[in-house]
Structure 1
Amino acid sequence: MKLSVSHVDDAEFTSGLRGFFEYRDLGISDATDGRFGAHVIRAVPGKQAIGDKHIHKLEFQMVYVLKGWVKFWYEGTGEVTLKAGSCVHQPPGIQHQELAHSDDLELIEIILPADFDTLEVEG
């Protein structure tokens, strides 16, 4: 492992898993040889959630909302709305779906490992 520093001045957001979000890689994957990943994710203004129910094949996923709000559906729980300051640990393999978000949504996601598969779930 090596030291990783990411400054907001160097921030570059790119497209990623969901077309209604932009992703800023915080350099954690490179620093840990892919063992961990961390991103700042923000909403693309004017684009709303069109995600299907899905699961992620990973060991750990945590989301911390920096600003705005996001509404998820989780298997076994139902709808959950997260707002600035909210944190959620999504257990491995939990079926979930993003339902809606504010245009100013910005969150941090921490994952293990950095690269993982996402499987869409029917129904």
Structure 2
Amino acid sequence: MKLSVNHADDAEFSGGLRGFFEYRDLGIKEATNGRVGAHVIRAVPGKHAVGDNHIHKLEFQMVYVLKGWVKFWYEGTGEVTLKAGSCVHQPPEIRHQELAHSDDLELIEITLPADFETLETGE
């Protein structure tokens, strides 16, 4: 492992898993040889959630909301709205779907491993 420092003024956002979000890699994947991933994810203004229920094939996933709000549906729980300061641990392979988010949404996502498979469940 190696030290990883990432500054906001060096921030570069790019596309990723979902077209309605932009992703900023925090350098953790490289520093941990792919064992851990960390991103700042922000909404693309004017683009809204589109996607089916899905699962992620991973060991750990945590989301912490920095700004705005996001509404998810989780199997076994139902709808959950997260706002600035909210944190959610999504258990491995829990079926879920993003329903809506604010245009100013920003969140941090941490995953284990950094790269993982997402499977649409279509239900």
The letter of the residue matching 1:38 is A
Partner secondary structure for residue 52 of structure 2: coil
The normalised TM-score by structure 1 is 0.99
State the Cα deviation string for residues 49-87 of structure 1 (Å, max 9, x = none).
002100000000000000000000000000000000000
The letter of the residue matching 1:111 is T
Partner secondary structure for residue 30 of structure 1: helix
Aligned: 1:85 with 2:85? yes
Q: Which residue of 2 aligns with 1:56?
A: 56
The letter of the residue matching 1:108 is I
The letter of the residue matching 2:36 is F
Cα distance, 1:15 vs structure 2: 0.2
Cα distance, 1:122 vs structure 2: 1.9
Q: Which residue of 1 aligns with 2:66?
A: 66
Structure 2: gaps of 5 or more residues: none
Q: Which residue of 2 aligns with 1:117?
A: 117
Distance 2:43 2:122 in 1: 25
The letter of the residue matching 1:91 is P
Aligned: 1:9 with 2:18? no
Q: Which runs of 4+ in 1 moved over 3 A?
A: none
Distance 1:70 1:45 in 2: 13
Distance 1:111 1:68 in 2: 21
Cα distance, 1:99 vs structure 2: 0.1
The letter of the residue matching 1:18 is R
Cα distance, 1:117 vs structure 2: 0.2
The normalised TM-score by structure 2 is 0.99
The letter of the residue matching 2:17 is L
Q: Which residue of 2 aligns with 1:31?
A: 31
Q: Which residue of 2 aligns with 1:106?
A: 106
Q: CA RMSD in A?
A: 0.3
